[in-house]
Amino acid sequence: MARDDGSFLSELSRRNVWRVGLAYVIASWLILQVIDVIQPLIGMPLWASKLVLSALVLGFPLALVFAWAFEVTPEGLKREKNVDRSSSIVHETGQRLDRITIAIALLAIGMMIFDRIVLREHTRQVLMNDQQGVLQSPEEAAPNETESPSIAVLPFVNMSADESSAYFSDGLADTLLHMLAQIGEIRVAARTSSFRFRDPSADITEIASLLGVGTVLEGGVQKAGNRIRVTAQLIEAETGFHLWSGTFDRDLDDVFAIQDEIAREVVAALKVSLLGEFAARLTHRETDSLEAYTEYLLGIDKLELGTMRSLDEAERHFLRATEIDPQYARAWGTLGLVYFRMAEWGSASFQDMLPKVEDAASRALGIDENSATAISVMGAVELARQNPGVAESLLQRAIQLDQSATFARMMYARMLMGREEPDDALRVLREALAIDPLSTRLNIEMAFIHRYSFEYDEALHSVDRIEEIEPLSPVPHYLRSEIEYDRGNWASALDHAVRAFRSDPDDSELAIAVGDLYVDLLMPDAAERWYDRAAEINPDNPSSRRSPLLLDLFDGSVSAEGLQLARQLLDDDPEDRVGILGIAIRVVWQHHVESGTPDAGLEFFRERMPEYFRGDAEERPDTWESYEARVRIADLMRRTGNAAAANELLRRDLEISREGLVKAPIMQMTHLQPLAAAGDRDTLLRALRLYTRDLKASKESPYLWPLRLRDTPLFDDVRDDAEFTELANALEQLALHQRKLLLEKHGGEYPVPKQR
């Protein structure tokens, strides 16, 4: 112990034990940062990094004991008890330790910045290099369907006694499909479509016709212990002749060689010459680890199931594959796709998932800069982050590398929709459907674009296609509900929404959709029952928190509880699903208008959304939340006498509204609201006349929501005008008529959620 009367803590400080501990922790952090950067580059196994971490943890108490027991002196290292206190230099040693600790900390922070910013930017630049003049548009990159050889790879039949081995036979076929898709001269049908044909007795000619291909590769796999037999045959669809067939009896470890040989034989049978880059791609082996490959196949099997639970299972398998082989680029890239789908399907937020998506894809690209899957995923990340220019180049690159990259085409179509180019978006989706004609996701995108363009018959055609492919899915019912709503057939829309919910009674957002339709039908009690069911299904889903706010707006006044909830939602800033934040913005705005406190309302929004007050609002993503914020904040600005600021904030919205009076085939509520917020009474009245005309002519008028006109203060300036009264009455009558149709259809009752 200490040789003076000081406390134990004082002695710890005197002997620099605290300083040694801090320096050790920071140095350990630096070591782990370095390992995290170099691990995927040198193929260091995951267990090695865990071993280093364990050694560092075990070394910490040893370092503290050493600091306590020994002291640095001018003569060298001595036991502390043998050092004369009068000649001790612990103070100078402590100062040196402080300088060393600061230097290590700065180095560790620099390493972290280098990893997070420089390396990731380098990865992005690698992808962007040499793009000018090289990248083709998706239409140019797609092979000529009439001239290029085309093939569908069907799922190989599992002939093993163990039925659970089906994932292996599927996986072998999937790998062959992926290998062939790397060859630019061959058009390969996507897995989503070709793997729907599992019946070995199915007619090959009919399958080829449905998939739009000229040849079909089929086969079977039999596993017994460490032996494997693979049979495969390439069939010409038109004649039924076998262009090639082969049988392979090998050890299980030789499965990679079997895949290489089959792929080469198929390419030769299709009379495609392999030169340069394409030859290298075909012979490129993703992994030499059978164990990692098996985990990858299990992950693909779960990913294709497409459920919330299967996504979690897929994540575990891909993580295991990358743990076994950290250089497995395709496993890293597909893991990024899993994370993206988790966010897209609502099992996690984009805010939480995008860093994981980017990290997994970056790891893949650090290993293989030509990984089409990873490049597609990075393009999707850039699109989600509102960087369409970067996204476009990445998605084009993915399409160029892999002709079967339908995910890249789908995201490219979304990017085109964001640029208000629906015709080009449809063209890209048609190219994708030529590769993957039985994809529900692509047909959903087609339905969305047709609906956006008011082409409802074409949208319903896509919905019919989805129902043919997935007859038990809730998606066709939900899409029909949205289309019927747009057409003003709200009773029919509600019936379809109820069917969607009954197809998937665990989806709380489907219950919310039914409740919203009851609000439009002026049936708040029925709406509340469905909102309660949504909260019962998933009490943690923030979407349920906005339902009471909608009922407040329906009642025409904002309650104290509603105002508090709306403010809390805006503070929490959850992912804006089903219009959560837009409704919260509207509630806060309406409270301050009704209470005569527009200045306080502006101050509230200025504190939480300062970008709308400093002129950079257009830098925000153009979402429904952003639209609502612009309209409501501009209205408050006008009410406080700052009409110029209101007009500047709404500048782009007003241009669209005024263009709509001349060019738009149908007036929409989104045209009316900016005009009302800006106080442009004359133009608003003209728009109201057109809106009423379209409604009376039974034209499709989307987003009719009567409560927006019935009670909202936004239209106070024209509330006593005959044009406004006529439109408000027409909307009210439409809602009452649709409610009558609903009740007549159901014998005076209305659909309610069944007890769980």
Q: What is the pLDDT of residues 476-499, one digit of tens each?
A: 999 999 999 888 888 999 999 999
H or E stretch covering 234 = strand 227-236
Average pLDDT, the chain: 79
pTM (2 d.p.): 0.67
pLDDT band, very low/low/confident/very high, at 140 (cuts 50, 70, 90): very low
What is the per-residue DSSP string for 566-613? HHHHHHH----GGGHHHHHHHHHHHHHHHTT-HHHHHHHHHHH-GGGT
Higher-pLDDT residue of 554 and 76 is: 554
Cα–Cα dist 316/447, whole Å: 33
Backbone angles phi, psi at 250, to 5 degrees: -140, 170
pLDDT of residue 324: 92
Least confident of 78-82, 235-239, 358-362, 549-553: 78-82
pLDDT higher than 70, residue 413: yes
Condensed to tens digits (0 to 9), the pLDDT of residues 653-671 reads 888 888 877 666 666 777 8
Average pLDDT value for residue range 35-58: 60
Tokens representing residue 73 in the block: 């002196």
Higher-pLDDT residue of 756 and 732 is: 732
Least confident of 145-154, 539-548, 572-581, 720-729: 145-154
Q: Which of 65-79, 241-255, 431-445 has the highest mean pLDDT?
A: 431-445
Condensed to tens digits (0 to 9), the pLDDT of residues 447-463 reads 999 988 888 899 999 99
Among 671, 701, 699, residue whose Cα is nearest residue 686: 671
pLDDT of residue 179: 78
Three-state DSSP class for 75?
coil
pLDDT of residue 225: 77
CA distances to 226, 500, 624 from 576, in Å: 52, 22, 9
pLDDT of residue 283: 53
pLDDT of residue 707: 52
pLDDT of residue 125: 47
Q: Which residues of 255-287 are buried (b: 16+ CB within 10 A; e: fewer)?
A: bbebbbbbbebbbebbebebeeebeebbeeebb
CA distances to 62, 144, 657 from 663, in Å: 78, 37, 10
pLDDT higher than 80, residue 53: no
Three-state DSSP class for 14?
helix
Average pLDDT value for residue range 391-397: 92
Tokens representing residue 567 in the block: 């403010």
Instruction: Please return the burial class of 471, using the count of CB atoms within 10 Å of its CB with bins 0-12, 13-18 and 19+.
Output: exposed
pLDDT of residue 127: 39
Cα–Cα dist 35/112, whole Å: 11
pLDDT of residue 84: 60
Q: Give the rounded percent of residues in the chain with a pLDDT score beyond 70.
A: 77
Tokens representing residue 29 in the block: 């952090």
Average pLDDT value for residue range 627-634: 92
Cα–Cα dist 175/403, whole Å: 15
Higher-pLDDT residue of 692 and 298 is: 298
pLDDT band, very low/low/confident/very high, at 288 (cuts 50, 70, 90): confident
CB 158 within 8 A of CB 168: yes
Average pLDDT value for residue range 252-277: 70
Among 648, 644, 570, 561, residue whose Cα is nearest residue 607: 570
pLDDT of residue 275: 40
CA distances to 13, 123, 391, 601, 709 from 594, in Å: 63, 53, 44, 11, 15
pLDDT higher than 90, residue 602: yes
pLDDT higher than 90, residue 640: yes
Cα within 13 Å of Cα(80), Cβ side:
17
Among 332, 304, 306, 307, residue whose Cα is nearest residue 318: 332
Higher-pLDDT residue of 645 and 227 is: 645
pLDDT higher than 60, residue 40: no
Average pLDDT value for residue range 154-177: 78
Condensed to tens digits (0 to 9), the pLDDT of residues 489-535 reads 889 999 999 999 988 888 888 999 999 999 888 899 999 999 999 98
Q: Which of 150-154, 217-221, 502-506, 637-641 has the highest mean pLDDT?
A: 637-641
Q: Which of 153-162, 225-234, 594-603 has the highest mean pLDDT?
A: 594-603
Higher-pLDDT residue of 23 and 513 is: 513
**Phi-psi region at 391: left, alpha or beta (left = phi > 0; alpha = psi -120 to 50):** alpha
pLDDT of residue 131: 36
DSSP letter at 117?
A: I
Tokens representing residue 304 in the block: 């294709």
pLDDT of residue 38: 59
What is the per-residue DSSP string for 498-544? HHHHHH-TT-HHHHHHHHHHHHHTT-HHHHHHHHHHHHHH-TT-GGG
Cα–Cα dist 541/347, whole Å: 10
